Structure 1
Amino acid sequence: MNFFFPDHRALCLAENATHNLHNLLTLRGAEVRDARNWSRYLAEAIEMFGYDSDVAFASHHWPTWGTDNLIGYLTEQRDLYAYLHDQTLRQLNQGLVGSEIAEDFEMPPALDAAWHTHGYYGSVSHNVKAIYQRYLGWYDGNPAHLWQHPPEGAGARYVRAIGGIEAAVARAREFADEGDLRFAAELASHAVFADPGHAGAKAVLADALTRLGYGSECATWRNNYLVGASEVDGPPHPAEVSAAGMASALTITQVFDSVAIRINGPKAWDTTATIRWHFTDVDQSYRMELSNGVLIHYPTGRSDPADLVVTLTKSQLLGLLSGSGSDGIAMDGDATTISSIVALTDRPDPAFPIVTP
């Protein structure tokens, strides 16, 4: 969403045009953004507001002053995302997979010469792969990649094929010494997943990731490499995060979704439960069913029988789920139904390892 302030002849591009290449797919995980529409909305912003603006600014970056300057800037940003999109699809239709397209992807000289198109935050490499992913998904069509072993299984087999853990570590060091840090990291990663306690494997992996990090123009790549290197020597240290401030902004459906994705399906396979929730503050009812290991919930106008009928407000629901108790909440039926469902949930693990098993 872009904002135009006509009284000030000022155009706010939010995060849609900043002084770097943005992320089409964040490394932290998200849905892939549409590069084609991104470009089209920038073209629309130029058409609707650019010629009536004296300044363009974004949420995190410095402004661009002067009508001609900001139109030139936005034009290059527009062309940046369109070029990534169209050239990825062109090569996709020639049979190249995402990694192949990304490996030799060249930007037009005029765009490459503009500092604000460079990958300080996003990168050409992972944005090209994101565009491929948006259209074709993770499978590249090669059946050898259809059912690969997970990291520990693959690591053990690679190490065995190379001739054992010592040989695998030695080969990884050779590639690192030759400057092929990418393959050194890949090979050392297999060694670590095959033998997590092997000091030599961990040392080679940490060194390769550190050197890759300091050599990265892209800040998000640098951060990922360096955090990975630090994890090799010990478990990650999660930041304390509280969702309390966000919970009140969630819809009732989203609140129930947050419970549903924590249900341990195998533990819940043989358990059934039904709850009808009635929210007096919004005069809405929801039916919840635990069935086949999944927690189903939906708005309802019916009064079908249920194990438990709960009458409350949304704020009381948030308090109930956070452990504040059930004061003021009316329950008709088996009150243990809620605790039975909660007992089948898992707690998220904020400190799970990534570069080690």
Structure 2
Amino acid sequence: MTERSNEATKFTKASNSEFLSKLPFEDRRDFEDAARGFIAPLPDRGVIKDDNGRVVWDLTRYDFIKEDASSPETVNPSLWRQSQLVLKGGLFKVVDRLYQIRSADLSNMTIVEGDTGLIIFDPLISAETAKAALELYYEHRPKKPVVAVVHSHSHVDHYGGVRGVVSEEDVKTGKVMIIAPVGFLKAAVAENVLAGNVMSRRASYMYGNLLPPGPKGMVGTGLGMSTSNGTITLIPPTHEITETGQKMNIDGLTFEFLLAPDTEAPAEMHWYIEELKALTAAENCCHTLHNTYSMRGTSCRDPQAWSKYLNQTIDMWGDKTEVMYGMHHWPVWGKERVLEMLKKGRDGYRFINDQTLRLANHGYTPVEIAEMIEYPPELARHWAMRGYYGTLNHNVKAAYTKYLGWFDGNPATLHELPPEDAAKKYVEMMGGVDAVVEKATKDYAKGEYRWVSEVVKHVVFADPEHKAARELLADAFEQMGYQAESGPWRNFYLTGAKELREGVKQLPTPNTASPDTVRAMSLDLFFDYLGMRLNGPKAAGKKITVNFDFTDTGETAVLFLANAALNHSPDRQVANADASLTLTRIALNKIILQESTFDEEIKNGEVQVEGSLDKVHELISLLDVFEFWFNIVTP
């Protein structure tokens, strides 16, 4: 299968043209704000490499996005506008003592000048991009030492580059504080471990990592341009923010914090710097409607809590804030503009929560509600509530699921057939694969792309090798991608089309559990991770008990397999165990990171075994190893 793409059809052109008339493109305030305070561009035109010369970030791939260029026919004009804004990168002065480096990664890195050193907020995804961002700052500002790093929340684009700006030695000796909201470490580690493989595979769709940048391909994510692919690091926090209203003096500046858990991240916080009259609402108020459910896969987030925390932010600091800066996008200045952002964000998430529940209580299903709900004009025409990253449609479905679960109440959906079995029945009933494709081709010519994708997906699952069906489904996905206002929706559609046309290509596999993440895993989380990997059918009827004694941490535990479930108890050993292992946590980490094997660590004397080594090997043999490049749009 060869790589190809189509032009925008007349229906796609008409759909995109509607956005030009219904949205206030004459409002240029965002362009003025995104350019305000510009000091210097990113070095090397935004190309950042690791120590071996491998490119981990490259903004030149988006040179086709020009600020003064009209949107191509294959890109939604609203998304094109957002990409023009997001692409503005470099070093910016926000207010005296507060600077940002933007578009050096998916997120922003913010630097505040304390009395003696620097306080860094959210050091990007990769150590390499964070290091380059700090070097750009040092080229234009005094080279003071970093005295603190503050993580606004537990997603990797807000902590992964920490070793690019500070060393663990300086943290351990107290030269540098690492400050984060309570629950940060648990949330950061768990998200990258328990569902890491499937989440990362779906993220390759969501962030457009497999798409070539261009007017028919990747144009950004709405939140940022893309994700860097450098070294993800993590240094555990030394200080936790545990309550709203908590204050800290950090290098001469007064910080007041507001905890906002279970909003955009499980552990998240806002804060206000008194001396600078500067506020951040972390990722809960930025220049897009955010996800209350991320399509890479997450638990459903709480739009009601989201709204309430924004309201609390207004109550605590709204009247005294002069600038609000974000962990993505560009700041806004002046109390009036700050309050506009906060209030419309507050009301937008509240609207999603309350209107979903209102219609659910009328008996409507999530798919029906998502088609019925539209923002009122005052929210729909507010650029920062447009669906560049989250969308009203899938956020509504998430709100329904949060309250009522996946079942819509119709018994027909209670025990549906699996996709392949259902597909064969559908296709048979519709007259066979060729008949379905023939009818769907006529619907495609009418511009009914959603319907075509709904019907032809059954043909692809019933007969994956049917070339005409794959091509037709890819064509429908492509046009829906061209029309999408959301960056992730566009990327999902276009990546799906690419997979249908070219198949699944085996590329270098991303590491969902980086060395720092593994080292930060608690023993409890590690054993939960093993339990998730247990192959239940293979384990049926087997019983194995293993004691663990960690000589470097002083921890003990017993792991026991029974009834095809792997459980564990901390601070315990049993006398009748099949095997007892004495080892260090360091040795265990090496095994997890595949830097060594269990047998090699035994041979090296790092692991001692009493009892049955065969039982240990049997237990290990029951653990699944996951294939990353599984199919998504084909069976």
- TM-score, structure 2 as length reference: 0.55
1:276 partner SS: strand
Aligned to 1:165: 433
* 2:567 paired residue among 296, 303, 311: 296
Aligned to 1:249: 520
Amino acid at match of 1:26: S
1:16 partner SS: coil
1:1-357 alignment, distance < 5 Å: 1-237=269-505, 238-242=507-511, 243-245=513-515, 246-321=517-592, 322=594, 323-324=596-597, 325-326=600-601, 327-357=605-635
User: How far apart, in 1, do the equivalents of 2:554 and 2:466 lie?
Assistant: 61
User: How far apart, in 1, do the equivalents of 2:331 and 2:296 lie?
Assistant: 27
User: How far apart, in 2, do the equivalents of 1:24 and 1:250 lie?
Assistant: 26
Amino acid at match of 1:18: C
Deviation at 1:209, TM superposition (A): 0.4
Amino acid at match of 1:282: T
- Choose 114-123 or 269-278, whichever is displaced more: 269-278
Encode CA deviations 1:82-135: one digit per residue, 9 max, x unaligned.
011000000000000001011021111111111000000000000000000111
User: How far apart, in 2, do the equivalents of 1:298 and 1:38 lie?
Assistant: 36
CA gap of 1:279–1:182, structure 2 versus 1, over 3 A, is same
Amino acid at match of 1:341: L
User: How far apart, in 2, do the equivalents of 1:291 and 1:234 lie?
Assistant: 44
Count of equivalent residues: 357
CA contact (8 A) 1:216 1:222 kept: yes
CA contact (8 A) 2:366 2:400 kept: yes
User: How far apart, in 2, do the equivalents of 1:330 and 1:67 lie?
Assistant: 64
CA gap of 1:313–1:49, structure 2 versus 1, over 3 A, is farther
CA contact (8 A) 1:156 1:193 kept: yes
Amino acid at match of 1:328: E
Amino acid at match of 1:253: D
Encode CA deviations 1:202-258: one digit per residue, 9 max, x unaligned.
111010000010110011110000111011123323552222322111111111222
CA contact (8 A) 2:558 2:574 kept: no
- Choose 251-260 or 119-128, whichever is displaced more: 251-260
User: How far apart, in 2, do the equivalents of 1:46 and 1:239 lie?
Assistant: 46
1:346 partner SS: coil
Percent of pairs identical after alignment?
39
User: How far apart, in 2, do the equivalents of 1:263 and 1:294 lie?
Assistant: 7
Aligned to 2:170: none
User: How far apart, in 2, do the equivalents of 1:240 and 1:199 lie?
Assistant: 28
2:581 partner SS: strand
1:261 partner SS: helix
1:28 partner SS: coil
1 or 2, which has the higher helix percentage?
1
2:567 partner SS: strand
CA contact (8 A) 1:55 1:64 kept: yes
Deviation at 1:289, TM superposition (A): 0.4
CA gap of 1:336–1:4, structure 2 versus 1, over 3 A, is farther
Deviation at 1:52, TM superposition (A): 2.3
Encode CA deviations 1:118-156: one digit per residue, 9 max, x unaligned.
000000000000000111111111111111111111111
User: How far apart, in 2, do the equivalents of 1:76 and 1:309 lie?
Assistant: 59
CA contact (8 A) 2:534 2:565 kept: yes
Cα RMSD (Å): 1.4
- Choose 32-41 or 312-321, whichever is displaced more: 312-321
CA contact (8 A) 2:551 2:583 kept: yes
CA contact (8 A) 2:427 2:458 kept: yes
CA contact (8 A) 1:11 1:53 kept: yes
CA contact (8 A) 2:509 2:628 kept: no
User: How far apart, in 1, do the equivalents of 2:311 and 2:626 lie?
Assistant: 42
User: How far apart, in 2, do the equivalents of 1:55 and 1:93 lie?
Assistant: 40
1:289 partner SS: strand
Encode CA deviations 1:268-316: one digit per residue, 9 max, x unaligned.
1122111111223332211100112111112134544311122222222
Deviation at 1:330, TM superposition (A): 2.8
User: How far apart, in 2, do the equivalents of 1:83 and 1:8 lie?
Assistant: 32
Deviation at 1:170, TM superposition (A): 1.0
Amino acid at match of 1:244: S
CA contact (8 A) 1:122 1:218 kept: yes
User: How far apart, in 2, do the equivalents of 1:304 and 1:70 lie?
Assistant: 64
Encode CA deviations 1:139-182: one digit per residue, 9 max, x unaligned.
11111111111111111111111111111101211221111100
Amino acid at match of 2:614: T
CA gap of 1:199–1:283, structure 2 versus 1, over 3 A, is same
User: How far apart, in 2, do the equivalents of 1:258 and 1:172 lie?
Assistant: 44
User: How far apart, in 1, do the equivalents of 2:279 and 2:441 lie?
Assistant: 52
Amino acid at match of 2:582: T
- Choose 113-122 or 301-310, whichever is displaced more: 301-310
1:330 partner SS: strand
Amino acid at match of 1:300: D
Deviation at 1:9, TM superposition (A): 1.4
2:502 partner SS: coil
Structure 2 residues not aligned, in runs of 5+: 1-268
CA contact (8 A) 1:235 1:351 kept: no
